[in-house]
């Protein structure tokens, strides 16, 4: 993506003398309230309950950004755009990780459900109020497009939403972006940087917390291979478990990154991709893992799903938090006067439904703020 080819911003805006287009997108994201709140939102563990070692959405986001920038630079893509996309990719998540998302989805069923990507777009287009000249952050088309297109189609998409979507569903999921255009290489890349980050850091968090064991992870071929390699290279790792885990995790990141780079270069070459137009027209994913690695990676993701995300230790909390969010939602429904003025006003003046306004407010909450509100409101009734 070249800045000269950008489809620009939604509202008229001035240009900066010394910052380029996507640099400004990045800066606006970093200065947003939603970005700061990521630090108290859960990735897998509920951060306030489980200790300070584990990833939260902010540290996850920073790891995704690091990997995305490395990939973008290695492939000669637009590093500023990749960075902005990565920093923005999780802004639409509510409190309490996937359990929170599930609860919001149930509450919002009459409105078509809750999707963190659609919510992310609402955050950057509407809910962030920082500028007198326009609502939202007025980001460029290309950065906003990440919310609609970070589910890439094609091979290796087995764990992604788009693998299950039909052509007829695409316009709805495209959130107003051209449904038949392929996403830019930068968008495709950030989707995979996200996977590389959580596939590997969730292993680390799982092992260190004791939710996963050494014996369990050795069942995963990708893990076992990497472990055999690093132990053969450094004998000290045989006896030092923590150092071994960290070395294996690092080796796994390198394995995934190197494979993605090689396969992407191969595809760009094989399909003679030379311009943005070529990328937009391409039928299949261009930034992609190889046919050898993709099934190995899927095994790892299935393992994490069965043994970590759905483990009793993580799930026990899941049900508790879902119940709390449902009660919180009900409290605001019963008494909308409990909502802050700015949110209530949107229901009155912008014609937004009460449920939508409650959802925007609740989805913006951090884990600990939602907990405090629940203690205040839901316990009381
Ligand atoms: Mg993410």
Torsion of CA 187, 192, 196, 197, to 10 degrees: 30
Domain stops at, among 149, 180, 211: 180
Question: What DSSP line would sit under 151-190, residue for residue?
Answer: S--STT-TTSGGGG--GGGHHHHTTTS-TTSPPPHHHHHH
Q: What is the pTM of this model?
A: 0.93
Q: How far is the CA of 197 from the centre of ligand 1 (A)?
A: 8
- What pLDDT, on the 0 to 100 scale, is given for residue 162? 43
Q: How far is the CA of 18 from the centre of ligand 1 (A)?
A: 30
Task: Report yes or no on 242 lying in a domain.
Answer: yes
Task: Report yes or no on 309 lying in a domain.
Answer: yes
- Compute the distance between CA of residue 198 and CA of residue 196 in angstroms, rounded to an integer: 6
- What pLDDT, on the 0 to 100 scale, is given for residue 310? 85
Q: How far is the CA of 333 from the centre of ligand 1 (A)?
A: 30
Domain that holds residue 116: 3-180
Structure tokens at 335: 């008494």
Structure tokens at 88: 């923005």
> Coil, helix or strand for 88?
helix
Domain shared by 125 and 231, yes or no: no
pLDDT averaged over every residue in the chain: 90
Please identify which residue in the block is written with the tokens 């930034």: 287
Task: Write out residues in the chain with pLDDT < 70, as ranges.
Answer: 46-49, 150-173, 380-381
- What pLDDT, on the 0 to 100 scale, is given for residue 155? 32
Domain shared by 28 and 172, yes or no: yes
Q: How far is the CA of 348 from the centre of ligand 1 (A)?
A: 34
Q: How far is the CA of 15 from the centre of ligand 1 (A)?
A: 30
Task: Report yes or no on 239 lying in a domain.
Answer: yes
φ, ψ for residue 9 (rounded to 5)? -100, 160
What do you get for the CA distance between the two ends of the chain, in Å?
54
Domain stops at, among 139, 164, 180: 180
Q: How far is the CA of 63 from the centre of ligand 1 (A)?
A: 9
φ, ψ for residue 335 (rounded to 5)? -145, 80
Domain shared by 125 and 241, yes or no: no
Domain shared by 214 and 272, yes or no: yes
Task: Report yes or no on 268 lying in a domain.
Answer: yes
CA gyration radius, the chain:
21
Q: How far is the CA of 159 from the centre of ligand 1 (A)?
A: 14
Nearest Cα to 27, choosing from 198, 184, 143, 194?
143
Task: Report yes or no on 327 lying in a domain.
Answer: no
Q: How far is the CA of 53 from the centre of ligand 1 (A)?
A: 18
What's the structural domain count of the chain?
Answer: 2
Task: Report yes or no on 379 lying in a domain.
Answer: no
Q: How far is the CA of 99 from the centre of ligand 1 (A)?
A: 15
Give yes or no for a contact between 354 and 28, defined as CB atoms under 8 angstroms apart: no
The DSSP symbol for 118 reads H
Domain shared by 120 and 231, yes or no: no
Domain shared by 134 and 275, yes or no: no
Nearest Cα to 93, choosing from 378, 312, 359?
359
Q: How far is the CA of 89 from the centre of ligand 1 (A)?
A: 6
Domain shared by 197 and 158, yes or no: no
φ, ψ for residue 157 (rounded to 5)? -95, 15
Domain shared by 161 and 200, yes or no: no
Task: Report yes or no on 307 lying in a domain.
Answer: yes
Which phi-psi region, left, alpha or beta, contains residue 154 (left: φ > 0; alpha: ψ -120 to 50)?
left
Tell me which residues have their CB within 5 A of the ion that is ligand 1: 90, 194
The residues near 76 (Cβ < 8 Å, ≥ 6 apart) are none
Domain shared by 227 and 78, yes or no: no
Q: How far is the CA of 31 from the centre of ligand 1 (A)?
A: 19
Please identify which residue in the block is written with the tokens 């938090």: 321
Domain shared by 138 and 232, yes or no: no
Q: How far is the CA of 60 from the centre of ligand 1 (A)?
A: 7
Domain shared by 151 and 26, yes or no: yes
pLDDT digits (tens, 9 = 90+) for 315-334: 777 888 899 999 999 999 99
Domain stops at, among 285, 314, 343: 314
Give yes or no for a contact between 254 and 74, defined as CB atoms under 8 angstroms apart: no
CA distances from 257 to 76, 261, 299, 350 (A): 15, 6, 17, 45
At 114, which CATH number?
A: 1.10.3210.10
Domain shared by 200 and 160, yes or no: no
Task: Report yes or no on 65 lying in a domain.
Answer: yes
Q: How far is the CA of 295 from the centre of ligand 1 (A)?
A: 21
């Amino acid at each position: 993506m070249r800045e000269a080819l950008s489809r620009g911003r939604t509202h008229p805006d001035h240009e900066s003398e010394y910052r380029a287009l996507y640099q400004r997108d990045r800066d606006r994201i970093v200065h947003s309230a939603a970005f700061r709140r990521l630090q108290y939102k859960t990735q897998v563990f509920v951060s306030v309950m489980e200790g300070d070692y584990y990833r939260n959405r902010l540290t996850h986001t920073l790891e995704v950004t690091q990997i995305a920038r490395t990939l973008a630079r290695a492939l000669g893509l637009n590093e500023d755009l990749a960075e902005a996309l990565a920093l923005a990719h999780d802004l639409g998540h509510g409190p309490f990780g996937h359990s929170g998302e599930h609860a919001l989805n149930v509450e919002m069923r009459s409105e078509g459900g809750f999707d963190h990507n659609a919510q992310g777009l609402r955050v950057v287009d509407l809910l962030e109020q920082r500028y007198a000249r326009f609502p939202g952050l007025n980001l460029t088309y290309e950065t906003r497009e990440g919310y609609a297109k970070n589910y890439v189609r094609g091979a290796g998409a087995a764990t992604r939403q788009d693998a299950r979507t039909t052509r007829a569903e695409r316009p709805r999921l495209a959130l107003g972006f051209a449904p038949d255009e392929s996403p830019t290489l930068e968008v495709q890349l950030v989707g995979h940087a996200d996977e590389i980050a959580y596939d590997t850091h969730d292993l680390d968090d799982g092992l260190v917390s004791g939710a996963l064991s050494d014996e369990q992870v050795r069942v995963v071929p990708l893990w076992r291979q990497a472990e055999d390699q690093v132990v053969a290279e450094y004998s000290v790792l045989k006896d030092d478990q923590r150092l071994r885990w960290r070395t294996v995790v690092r080796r796994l990141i390198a394995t995934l990154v190197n494979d993605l780079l090689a396969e992407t270069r191969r595809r760009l070459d094989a399909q003679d991709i030379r311009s943005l137009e070529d990328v937009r027209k391409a039928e299949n994913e261009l930034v992609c893992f190889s046919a050898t690695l993709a099934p190995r990676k899927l095994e790892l993701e299935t393992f994490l799903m069965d043994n970590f995300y759905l483990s009793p230790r993580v799930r026990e909390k899941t049900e508790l938090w879902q119940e709390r969010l449902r009660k919180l939602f009900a409290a605001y429904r019963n008494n909308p006067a409990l909502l802050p003025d700015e949110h209530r006003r949107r229901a009155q003046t912008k014609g937004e439904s009460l449920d939508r306004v409650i959802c925007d407010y609740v989805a913006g909450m951090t884990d600990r703020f939602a907990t405090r509100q629940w203690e205040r409101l839901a316990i009381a009734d």
